[in-house]
């Protein structure tokens, strides 16, 4: 295919779906991976892309996903998330394990699987969605911090290991972005709404535009890391709220 291909994990909603729209608008054929096929297929038909079932926590699912992708110029490792806000003292070991799977091993598996195609493209790019939680520890961050710090380590190691290869490596670390993130973390919509009460969070589109910016730089330009928060946020727990 002469058209460049962008592969997006977690593409059924939030940052993944918005990024798929932006990358399609930038001229990419988008390959969308996620578990929710109904949403994925609707988005793929809107964008003229390809929808493939993907559960990033399942090794075989990732293998089947990768096997169905002959060409990859851009990989957006977006799938991930948090499962609680528990203290270390109260922390749930199974949540820690799941967050490691969802955020770290998922990124490892998909990246390993698509690296041959990214190298073969002659101008590959891997963008991984981290978080401010990848460098700022905060109370209640526990298992999510541990996982996202590990994502940051993986990305940083990878960039060094790929030096001399035609593959660029970028990490985007957002603060508060209103997506399904807080609903998943806290378990219900009302609790999620309270996270953004009285402040203006980023939206998925804000991050998607940064993804597209990174993907449209000339190929000698590597953007290592973007840290981005709403104007109303100065750090994980320092948030300006009206009233
Ligand atoms: C989401 C940002 O501050 O909840 O990754 O960790 S935060």
Q: Which residue in the list 28, 100, 144, 196 is annotated as catalytic?
A: 144
Mutate which of 10, 132, 171, 233 for ligand 1? The one with the most ligand atoms within 8 Å of its CB, which is 132
Q: How far is CA 204 from CA 1, 56, 209, in A?
A: 29, 20, 9
Q: Is the pLDDT of residue 243 over 90?
A: no
Ligand 1 centroid to residue 37 C-alpha, Å: 26
Q: Read off the pLDDT of each residue in 186-201 and give the average, rounded to a whole number.
A: 94
Tokens representing 1? 């295919």
Mutate which of 86, 129, 133 for ligand 1? The one with the most ligand atoms within 8 Å of its CB, which is 133
Q: Are strands 238-239 and 233-235 parallel, antiparallel or unpaired?
A: antiparallel
Mutate which of 81, 130, 131, 179 for ligand 1? The one with the most ligand atoms within 8 Å of its CB, which is 131
Q: Which residues line ligand 1 (CB under 6 A)?
A: 131-133, 175, 236
| Lowest-confidence region among 18-22, 110-114, 191-195 | 191-195
Q: Read off the pLDDT of each residue in 113-122 and give the average, rounded to a whole number.
A: 98
Ligand 1 centroid to residue 107 C-alpha, Å: 18
Asked about 138 being catalytic, the answer comes back as: no
Give the residue among 50, 88, 75 at the shortest CA–CA distance from 169. Answer: 75
33 versus 243: the higher-pLDDT residue is 33
Percent of the chain topping pLDDT 70: 100
Atom of ligand 1 nearest to the CA of 145: 6
Q: Which residues contact 82 (CB under 8 A, 6 or more apart)?
A: 99, 133, 143, 144, 181, 184, 185
Give the pLDDT confidence score for residue 2 in this predicted structure: 85
Ligand 1 centroid to residue 218 C-alpha, Å: 30
Q: What is the DSSP string of 1-21?
A: --S-EEEEESTTSHHHHHHHH
Ligand 1 centroid to residue 81 C-alpha, Å: 9
Q: What is the pTM of this model?
A: 0.97
Beta carbons of 3 and 26 less than 8 angstroms apart? no
Give the pLDDT confidence score for residue 1 in this predicted structure: 60
Measured distance CA(12)–CA(83) in Å, rounded: 18
């Amino acid at each position: 295919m002469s058209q460049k291909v962008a592969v997006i994990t977690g593409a059924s909603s939030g940052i993944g779906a918005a990024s798929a729209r932006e990358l399609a608008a930038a001229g990419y054929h988008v390959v969308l991976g996620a578990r929710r096929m109904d949403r994925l297929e609707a988005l793929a038909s809107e964008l003229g892309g390809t929808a493939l079932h993907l559960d990033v926590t399942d090794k075989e699912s990732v293998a089947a996903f990768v096997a169905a992708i002959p060409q990859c110029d851009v990989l957006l490792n977006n799938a991930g998330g948090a499962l609680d806000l528990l203290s270390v003292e109260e922390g749930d070991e199974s949540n820690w394990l799941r967050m490691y799977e969802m955020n770290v091993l998922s990124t490892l598996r998909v990246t390993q699987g698509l690296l041959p195609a990214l190298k073969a493209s002659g101008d590959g790019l891997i963008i991984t969605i981290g978080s401010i939680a990848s460098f700022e520890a905060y109370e209640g961050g526990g298992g999510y911090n541990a996982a996202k710090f590990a994502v940051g380590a993986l990305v940083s190691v990878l960039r060094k290991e790929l030096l001399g290869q035609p593959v660029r490596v970028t990490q985007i670390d957002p603060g508060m972005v209103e997506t399904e993130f807080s609903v998943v973390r806290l378990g219900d919509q009302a609790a999620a709404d309270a996270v953004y009460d009285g402040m203006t969070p980023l939206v998925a589109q804000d991050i998607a535009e940064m993804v597209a910016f990174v993907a449209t730089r000339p190929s000698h330009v590597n953007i290592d890391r973007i840290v981005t928060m709403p104007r109303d946020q100065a750090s994980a727990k320092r948030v300006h709220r009206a009233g």
